[in-house]
Amino acid sequence: MKFALKICLCTVLIVALLFGIAGQILVAQSFDAALRFRVRMAEAEFSALGSAMEAEIYGIRLYYSTVSQEMYQELLTRASRSQDTPAPCALYTTERELIASSGGTFDETLGFSELRQRRFAYMLERSGKSTTLFTAGGIEIGGNNYFLAVRYSADDLMALRREQIRSIVLLHTITVAVCTAVMLLVAFFVSKPLVRLKRFTGIIGGGNYSRRAKVTTLDEIGDLTVAFNEMTGAIEQKVVALEDNAKQQKDFVASFSHELKTPMTSIIGYADMLRSQELDEEDAFMAANFIYSEGKRLEALSLKLMDLVVLDKDDFKLMRGYSRKALGHVVAVVTPMLEHAELTFLYDIEQQIILYERDLLLTLVTNILDNARKASSPGKRIWLAGRKVNGRYRITVRDEGIGIPKEELSRITEAFYMVDKSRSRAQHGAGLGLAIANRIAGLHGSSLHFESEQGKGTTVWFDVPLSGAKERGNDDEAADE
């Protein structure tokens, strides 16, 4: 069943049910009110009839010492006729035995068990199509107690009740019909955004992730449309990321093949030269040196690829230690290399207790500093700094090198990606250093951040966790073992 029809059906059923209940309550209350009014009138007439009988019996006793049953019959008839609207009535003893009746047939024994607790009682009697209001109550005549029963026609009450029921049924039918028509229109307009959303799911399923559903309402359906658009955007991002990842993998394989092919071609060529030709000592040394240089490059490439595989395990344990001691190892390792390159090395390390993996942090900072060295010419400066920033420990490397073009910044952490390929290969680079460094930063809960301007230099920074005073972990000595 369509959603619009479900809304319409549920609403119509609820309206029909509530209207039916309300109609029954209205008819019942109206009938009860009319019945109570008729009972009050009957009770007033009952009192008037009792008074009339009291007057009649008083007149009879002026002439007779005793009153016979025929006299009771006569005084009951005369009292009844003295009323504005004579009604059938009967007189009973206190033992509920019939004494006299007028205008109708009455039982020899009076019912009405309620009279024991009440002075006046009533009930509705049905006989065929006729309905009677049967009333009874106790009266005192001439010092004696009796029961007086009176019947009133209640056909007008029942006719009024039937008329009200017919009116309620007619009104109920019209209301349900109008409600059905209105709810069909409302349900159509309410479900229209859902129909449009369903159409968009087909478009998205066809691979067009750039389309978005139009938000036309501010209710839950509008929220659903917004959520659907957000989901579509997330799927689009995932698809784009997967496509980028596939492209990166393709570029990785192509770059890896190229990085292997270039040195292998050179090695094979120079090895064939040594094998097939008689070379003088200088040429032979040059060929062997080139073979050695390219072999070292292949060795570095294989070791860095192994580092990337190892870093994918992501199960390293961070140790606790002092920042100056951790970065002091880095300073000791890179200082000779930077001095050989005729670069000025400056460092400022704030003492904090940090969480880190010693060997990986050494590799990470060394790789960044080595890239700074490669980008800097003799006489330039390189800075290493460590500071507590926003609850973490930030390590920053800044140089005065050639800088990185803005369009290259988003890709420099990709494996085998090199901004200046000729310069990188001349320095035995394979484009893996920053990729490894970014993986290591990720193991410390961070990533590499770059700020660069061509001709002025580059700043690289990342964060490592700080260790709290109450935090359990290995001390600095254990971390530096």
CA–CA gap between residue 147 and residue 90 (Å, rounded): 8
The answer to whether the CB of 413 falls within 8 A of the CB of 434 is yes
pTM tops 0.85, yes or no? no
Domain boundary residue, one of 149, 165, 181: 165
pLDDT in tens, 155-189: 888 888 889 889 888 888 888 888 888 877 877 77
Whether residue 75 sits in one domain with residue 152: yes
pLDDT band at 107 (very low <50, low <70, confident <90, very high): confident
Whether residue 328 sits in one domain with residue 276: no
Whether residue 464 sits in one domain with residue 318: yes
Q: Give the least confident one: 68-77, 330-339, 425-434.
A: 425-434
Whether residue 468 sits in one domain with residue 353: yes
More confident residue, 78 or 461: 461
Q: Give the least confident one: 47-51, 300-304, 337-341, 407-411.
A: 300-304
The answer as to whether 189 is a domain residue is no
pLDDT in tens, 224-272: 667 767 777 777 777 777 877 777 677 666 655 655 665 676 678 778 8
The number of beta carbons lying within 10 Å of the beta carbon of residue 327 is 22
Residue 255 is predicted with a pLDDT of 55
Q: Supply φ then ψ for residue 113, to 5 degrees.
A: -65, -20
What average pLDDT does the chain have?
A: 78
The answer to whether the CB of 131 falls within 8 A of the CB of 104 is no
Residue 374 is predicted with a pLDDT of 87
Whether residue 157 sits in one domain with residue 37: yes
Whether residue 365 sits in one domain with residue 260: no
Question: Is it the case that residue 66 has pLDDT exceeding 80?
Answer: no
pLDDT in tens, 335-386: 888 888 899 999 999 999 999 988 778 878 888 898 898 888 999 999 999 9
Whether residue 327 sits in one domain with residue 271: no
Mutual orientation of helices 323-340 and 358-375 as an angle, nearest 10°? Answer: 30
**Six-digit token pair at 356?**
């880190």
Which whole number is the average pLDDT over 302-312?
Answer: 59
Residues sharing a CB contact under 8 Å with residue 340, sequence separation 6 or more, in sequence order: none
Most confident range (mean pLDDT) of 146-150, 175-179, 298-302, 391-395 is 391-395
Q: Which domain holds residue 158?
A: 3-165
CA-closest candidate to residue 380, choices 363, 410, 403: 403
The answer to whether the CB of 311 falls within 8 A of the CB of 364 is no
Question: Is it the case that residue 324 has pLDDT exceeding 80?
Answer: yes
Whether residue 344 sits in one domain with residue 457: yes
Q: How many domains does the chain have?
A: 3
Whether residue 419 sits in one domain with residue 291: no
Residue 422 is predicted with a pLDDT of 42
The answer to whether the CB of 38 falls within 8 A of the CB of 133 is yes
Whether residue 354 sits in one domain with residue 242: no
Residue 354 is predicted with a pLDDT of 94
Query: Which CATH number fits the domain that encloses residue 158?
Result: 3.30.450.20
CA–CA gap between residue 40 and residue 56 (Å, rounded): 25
Domain boundary residue, one of 303, 337, 367: 303
Helix (H) or strand (E) holding 435: helix 433-443
Whether residue 464 sits in one domain with residue 344: yes
Whether residue 342 sits in one domain with residue 282: no
CA-closest candidate to residue 395, choices 358, 449, 432: 449
